[in-house]
Amino acid sequence: MFDSAVTVDLVVLTIRRDALSVLLVKRGAPPYAGRWALPGGFVGAAEDLPDAAVRELREETGVHETAGHLEQLASYGAPDRDPRGRVVTIGYLALLADLPVPQAGTDAAEAAWHRLSDVDRDRLAFDHERILADGVERARAKLEYSPLAAAFCPAEFTIGALREVYEAVWGTALDPRNFHRKVTTTPGFVVPTGRWTTGERGRPAQLYRRGPATLLHPPMLRPA
Amino acid sequence: MFDSAVTVDLVVLTIRRDALSVLLVKRGAPPYAGRWALPGGFVGAAEDLPDAAVRELREETGVHETAGHLEQLASYGAPDRDPRGRVVTIGYLALLADLPVPQAGTDAAEAAWHRLSDVDRDRLAFDHERILADGVERARAKLEYSPLAAAFCPAEFTIGALREVYEAVWGTALDPRNFHRKVTTTPGFVVPTGRWTTGERGRPAQLYRRGPATLLHPPMLRPA
DNA sequence: CAAATAGTGTCTCTGAGACAGTATGAG
DNA sequence: CTCATACTGTCTCAGAGACACTATTTG
């Protein structure tokens, strides 16, 4: 038996200009000073793990977890993963609507959204490349059988906006017509508000809110 | 920042006499002395988490993880989950074929398989009720889209035995004829060995081995 | 008007489930 | 023989995907 430091690290994803993006902070102090890292930090002595994740999200990035989604991802505890000594980290996955620019917090010199395709994975601090990959994979998989895609959208959204979420996360084009029918006929996925967009290009679209379903029956299937 | 003890706890499942069963150890020392608990223990100072899980499985129960399956489940770190102080535990899920009776290890007065329906959930040590529930739910879900059911079977098995795994884990009856076609036509799920059972009741059945697939396309669906 | 986006209708193909029917062993 | 289990064939229905078509806006 021995004691270990315990941290939480967050994979915070959003869609910005049709691209899946992750929130990274530039480390201001060693180890890995100057390198990009997932936001995160030490768990408090009397703090539960989800509370620590919510706190770090708020403190280090200025993001208040309101309408988004937060879930535990996995834990990472290789003995040499932190040069300061034994540190076990609990990864969390957060999905958010595109929101105001993040604020750098105490430990971070800078916080910014990065398009996933632009992240220099080999240059991330610690084992954050692995944690990021696990988070993205989890998000991709969960879009199939859960209504989580709506967590990337504001409270009211169009079916077209929801489709763009799927397209950004999966990196594939979807047929707008079949997608529309599928989403609106899957029970509990979305509920119409009766309001409509205006001033956009093309025919106005109805606005929807998230529905009560927690699991999609039938699921949304990724194209082969 | 502070330091915490880190443990692994294992949800070890098998099928015994057509019933989903979990391996529990009777605690020999406080806290929760005399109560049933999940096998587990402290992570070594230079030990990675999966290594600790494999070691505990071997030490505390005599089970060598050979043909089964082991995966990380989730982490639990409520500040008051262990009366001795702050302990964060990483839960692991193991699926095994029915094997020789387990051996009690160092910390455990006794180790035994319990039918899941017979477990007195309210009497489990620590928060192990919650971890057990998460493990069972994970197993139930993964049978749908992964070939993990075969981890409950010995190296060679019949389609009927595989069906009994599904029936035990899901607690539902499945149509043997449709199940047979589904399993044998899902690419990579099982591969025939050319050998056949003998001495059983009814027509001899072909023996199969686990196939190369890691994901089932199409998935096995739980009856509504 | 054209261009763009929203939404509906319809056809075809795959696969799930119901279930009849056949095959082959034990007792 | 009967009984039990293994396997195959066939029908029907739901849902995925392709894609023609209509609806309603902006410019």
At residue B107, does pLDDT exceed 60? no
Residue written as token pair 């920042």:
B1
Longest pairwise C-alpha distance within chain A: 65
Confidence of residue B210 (pLDDT cuts 50, 70, 90): very high
Instruction: Please identify which of the residues B59, B110, B144, B156 carries the catalytic annotation.
Output: B110
What are the residues whose beta carbons fall under 8 Å from the beta carbon of B36, sequence distance 6 or more? B24, B25, B26, B27, B114, B119, B120, B123, B124, B125
Q: Which of A47, A75, A78 sits opposite B90 (nearest CB)?
A: A75
Task: Kindly identify which residue of chain A lies nearest to residue B49, measuring between CA atoms.
Answer: A77
Q: What is the pLDDT of residues A136-153, one digit of tens each?
A: 999 999 999 999 999 999
Confidence of residue B7 (pLDDT cuts 50, 70, 90): very high
Helix (H, G, I), strand (E, B) or coil at A18: coil
pLDDT at B110: 85
Annotated catalytic residues of A are 110
Domains and CATH numbers, chain B: 5-143 (3.90.79.10), 146-210 (1.10.10.10)
Task: Kindly identify which residue of chain B lies nearest to residue A49, measuring between CA atoms.
Answer: B77
Q: What's the rounded mean pLDDT across residues A64-85?
A: 92
A132-146, B86-100, B117-131: least confident range:
B86-100
Please give the nucleotide, over all strands, whose C1' is closest to the CA of residue B175.
Answer: C17
Residue B55 CA, distance from chain mean position: 16
Taking an 8 Å cut-off on Cβ atoms, the answer to whether B88 and A2 are in contact is no
| B204 CB less than 7 Å from any atom of strand C | yes
Q: Which of A1, A48, A77 sits opposite B78 (nearest CB)?
A: A48
User: What is the percent of chain A with per-residue pLDDT over 90, rounded to a whole number?
Assistant: 85
Q: What's the rounded mean pLDDT across residues A112-141?
A: 97
Q: Higher confidence at residue A155 or residue B101? A: A155
At residue A168, does pLDDT exceed 70? yes
Phi, psi dihedral angles at B66 (to 5 degrees): -100, -85
Give me the helices (H) in chain B, please: 49-61, 128-145, 159-170, 176-185
Q: Higher confidence at residue B111 or residue A21? A: A21
| A159 CB less than 7 Å from any atom of strand C | yes
> Is residue B65 among the annotated active site residues?
no
Q: What's the rounded mean pLDDT across residues A164-186?
A: 98
What are the residues whose beta carbons fall under 8 Å from the beta carbon of A150, sequence distance 6 or more? A157, A162, A165, A189, A190, A210
pLDDT at A205: 98
List of A residues 163-222 with CB within 7 A of strand D: 175, 177-178, 182, 198-204, 218-219, 221
Range among A96-110, A210-224, B64-78 with highest mean pLDDT value: A210-224
At residue A107, does pLDDT exceed 70? no
Please tell me the distance from the alpha carbon of residue B39 to that of residue B22, in angstroms, as a whole number: 10
Helix (H, G, I), strand (E, B) or coil at A8: strand
**Using CA of residue A94, residue A95, residue A99, residue A102, what is the dihedral sign?**
positive
| B177 CB less than 7 Å from any atom of strand C | yes
Q: Which of A42, A75, A86 sits opposite B75 (nearest CB)?
A: A75
Please give the nucleotide, over all strands, whose C1' is closest to the CA of residue B221.
Answer: C16
Q: What is the pLDDT of residues A182-210, one digit of tens each?
A: 999 999 999 999 999 999 999 999 999 99
List bases, strand D, within 7 Å of protein CB: 3-9, 15-21, 23-26
DSSP assignments along A79-144, one per residue: TTSSTTS-EEEEEEEEE----SPPPP-SSEEEEEEEEGGG--GGGSSTTHHHHHHHHHHHHHHHHH
- Residue among A99, A95, A204 nearest A158 (CA): A204
| Mean pLDDT over each residue of chain B, to the nearest integer | 93
> For residues A164, A165, A168 and A172, what is the CA-based torsion angle, rounded to 10 degrees?
-70
What kind and span of H or E run contains B74?
Answer: strand B69-76
C-beta separation of B61 from B102 below 8 A: yes
pLDDT at A64: 77
B198 burial (CB, 10 Å; 0-12 / 13-18 / 19+) is: exposed
Taking the CA of residue B101 and the nearest CA in chain A, the distance in Å comes to: 28
Please tell me the distance from the alpha carbon of residue A219 to that of residue A143, in angstroms, as a whole number: 9
Taking an 8 Å cut-off on Cβ atoms, the answer to whether B86 and A42 are in contact is no
pLDDT at B224: 84
The two tokens of residue A210 are 């998230």
- Residue among B113, B78, B120 nearest B99 (CA): B113
The two tokens of residue A116 are 């996933």
| Helix, strand, coil in percent for chain B, rounding step 5 | 30, 30, 40
**Cα within 13 Å of Cα(B16), Cβ side:** 17
At residue B105, does pLDDT exceed 90? no
